[in-house]
Structure 1
Amino acid sequence: MERQTGSVLGTSLRREYPGLVKEYAGPGQRKRKRLAMSWGHYFGEKDHNGMTAGNRVKDEFWSFFTTQEEDMEELDKNIDNYCQARVPKIICQARVDAMKKYYGKGIKGKNASAIELNFEQYMTCKLDWINVDAWKCFCHWWTSDKYKEKRKRGQDARFANEDYAQQQGGSLPFCTIQQNLVYQLGPENASGLDTYRVQMAGFKASLKGSGQIRSEKVKQRINIYCQVYHEERGEEHQPVSSELDGNVVYKAFGGLKHGRFAMGNGVFKKTEVLAAVKHKKSGISGSTNSYNAVVRENAQLRHEVTEQRGMIREQRGMIQEHRGMLKAVYEKLGMDIPEEVLSRWESQREDSELDVDCSEGSEEYEIEEEECETEDEEYRT
């Protein structure tokens, strides 16, 4: 079986995990250490070749895959977007993997996630890709009251929704599941809708014939897609025998929610879909149609604004990381940050206050150096 992009990146992200990273705390304050929890943290410290962990992840990816020169820029952005979403999932999975290691083969992932260990127990099941200092900090964090309270709030919120289990297929990307289906069942059983159903029902269960979609929202989503597909393509065309149509997905679900397609996200090129939608709208004529077009155009603009805000929130975290690294460079060189740079940052900060604050909760991953060096007895349960 050919190597898959998600598998290669996931392996590289674990191998190159930075562990503890230094964070600039402000003028006159000493640096503090925190656990690397985002893709941006992979672009901090450089090795003797001037390469960061993030650079090495990308280099390894391109050692396995090639593409046309004109597609390089777009694919590089896709890698960044994928890694930005994948790193938090890897961190979350680390605690579950520790449970499996502690209890052995007799425990499954869905059961392991519900179990909690004490500090000493966590310390005995360190994962190979996390260094000792970082693992110790993870153990402190997982056994803290703050983490347990936050975790319980998340569980309560999920269980309060009667239809919360929308996806049973784990965190595998859509394209990866489709590749697996082609390998296991052949291309005739790996259409766009086939892949989406398997993603929602669970890959292993679907192969055994026991995979079922439990979520009513997902079932309704499939029905809506098929209905709009027939309206666009005609009754003679069947959606189950083709790839997902990005234009149909866009129309069926009112554009992009939080910058994502409702089905098959990651399969379509947003620029091409948006261009096709705008081109189609430009052909509408007549007074009634013009009025309706304006209404739809306004709705579309609102969706696009929502999408742009989502992208800004995602990028803001990266900007903060880069700004911290730049501050650290100036401090190391013994130089003051130029006034024009500080003024620009202040202006950007004031502008960002008009948007939703995406930094909420980030302090929970901050770890002071002395906390990592404290004797274990203070954290035993």
Structure 2
Amino acid sequence: MLHHEQYMEGKVWWCSEEAWPHLCTWWCCDDYKAKREKARRARLSPTDVAQNHGGSCKFTETKQLLKHKYGPEKASDLKTYQVMKSGMKNIDLATGDSGPISSQKVHKRLNDYATSASAEHPDDWDQRPFDPAILYDINGGLLHGRLPLGVGALSKTSAKSAARSNNMKPSNSSSYRAVLRENQELR
């Protein structure tokens, strides 16, 4: 952290002359330092986050870029999601495939979706748009108001609509389904 004088020397152009000294004082006070440290620990604490690594590109922009550079077969919803999780800089330039994805949480989401989608659409599940009913089901509903994949690819109202039209209610939680899957594998 810088000292007050160092902050004062580094004034940014967009901040007014009156406000800058107040900001510098705030950044040097104990309250701010405690909040900053708490936020830093919170950012570093998750061991397996499922953050996007696609920069500031939205899902639809990433999909359009993949389609333009590598063709429509590389721009499916699933492949776009994989690229967003591995990062645009990690794309295999020769094939257009995503780079390695380090998050186990993302791998689980992809495997859950692949299992359900391939059972529903065995021939072309990986080229179809995300199926809102499958997303709703594998997530056990809209936990925390979110879908597990494809933020930006479809709205949560479409997932709710798909669930209502099929008269679907998530049969059980994803953790319970994981236990069932493990039991099935043990047999």
TM-score by length of 2: 0.71
Q: Is the 8 A contact 2:27 2:33 kept in 1?
A: yes
Amino acid aligned to 1:221:
R
Secondary structure (helix, strand or coil) at the match of 2:167 reads helix
Distance 1:228 1:117 in 2: 52
Q: How far is 1:245 from its partner?
A: 2.3
Counterpart CA distance in 1 for 2:129 and 2:66 is 13
Structure 1: which 5+ residue stretches go unaligned?
1-115, 283-292, 300-381
Task: Supply the distance in 2 between the matched residues of 1:177 and 1:124 (Cα, whole angstroms).
Answer: 40
**Aligned CA-pair RMSD:** 3.1
- SS of the residue 2:144 aligns to: coil
Question: Deviation at 1:228?
Answer: 1.2
Residue 224 of structure 1: how far off its partner (Å)? 0.6
Please say if residues 53 and 86 of structure 2, whose CA atoms lie closer than 8 Å, have aligned partners that are also in contact.
yes
The equivalent position to 2:123 in structure 1, one of 225, 228, 236, is 236
SS in 2 for 1:225: helix
Q: Secondary structure at the match of 2:47?
A: coil
> For the Cα contact (< 8 Å) 2:50–2:85, is it kept in 1?
no
- Residue identity opposite 1:256 in structure 2: L
Offset at residue 128 of structure 1 (A): 4.5
> Structure 2, unaligned stretches of length 5 or more?
174-187
Question: In the alignment, which residue of structure 2 is the partner of 1:121?
Answer: 6
Paired letter, 1:243 = P
Partner of 2:149: 263
1:174, 1:267 within 8 Å by CA — same for their partners in 2? yes
Structure number with bigger Rg = 1
Judge conservation of contact 2:67–2:74 (CA < 8 Å) in 1: yes
In structure 2, do the counterparts of structure 1 residues 210 and 247 end up closer, same or farther at CA, with 3 Å as the change threshold? closer
* Counterpart residue identity of residue 232, structure 1: E
Distance 1:244 1:135 in 2: 48
Q: Deviations over 1:11-30 (max 9, x none)?
A: xxxxxxxxxxxxxxxxxxxx
TM-superposition CA deviations, 1:56-84 (whole Å, max 9, x none): xxxxxxxxxxxxxxxxxxxxxxxxxxxxx
Deviation, 1:201, is 1.3
- Give the one of 86, 90, 95 matched to 1:205: 90
Is the CA contact 1:158–1:164 (under 8 Å) kept in the aligned structure 2? no
Q: What letter is aligned with 1:143?
A: C
Label 1:260 to 1:132 Cα distance change in 2 as closer, same or farther (>3 A).
Answer: farther
- Distance apart, 1:281 and its partner CA: 1.0
Write the mapping of 1:237-252 to structure 2, written as runs, cut at 5 A. 237-239=124-126, 241-252=127-138
CA contact (8 A) 2:136 2:147 kept: yes
Hey, what does 1:181 align to over in structure 2? 66
User: Which residue, 254, 257, 275 being the options, matches 2:140?
Assistant: 254
Deviation of the 1:216 alpha carbon = 0.8
1:155 is aligned, of 31, 36, 40, to 40
For 1:190, the equivalent position in structure 2 comes to 75
- Secondary structure at 1:255's aligned position in 2? coil
Query: Structure 1 pair 215/280, CA: closer, same or farther in 2 (3 Å)?
Result: same
Distance 1:207 1:131 in 2: 46
Find the residue that maps to 1:258 and give its secondary structure: helix
Hey, what's the Cα distance between the residues in 1 that align with 2:63 and 2:18? 39
Q: 1:215 maps to which residue? A: 103
Letter in 2 for 1:215: S
- 1:278 paired with 2:173, answer no
Give me the whole-angstrom Cα distance separating, in 2, the residues matched to 1:183 and 1:135.
Answer: 45
Distance 1:231 1:188 in 2: 21
CA contact (8 A) 1:168 1:201 kept: yes
2:183 alignment counterpart: none
One-letter code aligned to 1:260: R
1:234-274 alpha-carbon deviations (Å, 9 max, x no partner):
x22232x2322222211111122222222111321332321
Amino acid at match of 1:264: G
Partner of 2:112: 224
- Name the SS for the 2:91 alignment partner: helix
| Contact 1:193/1:244 (8 A) holds in 2 | yes
What is the one-letter code of the residue matched to 2:151?
A: N
TM-score (norm: length of structure 1): 0.39
Task: State whether residues 166 and 217 of structure 1, in contact with CA within 8 Å, keep that contact through their aligned partners in structure 2.
Answer: no
- CA–CA distance in structure 2, aligned partners of residues 118 and 196 of structure 1: 43
Q: Aligned AA for 1:198?
A: V
Change (3 A) 1:204 1:119: farther
Indicate the structure with greater helix content: 1
Asked if 2 retains the 8 angstrom alpha-carbon contact of 1:166 and 1:214, the reply is no
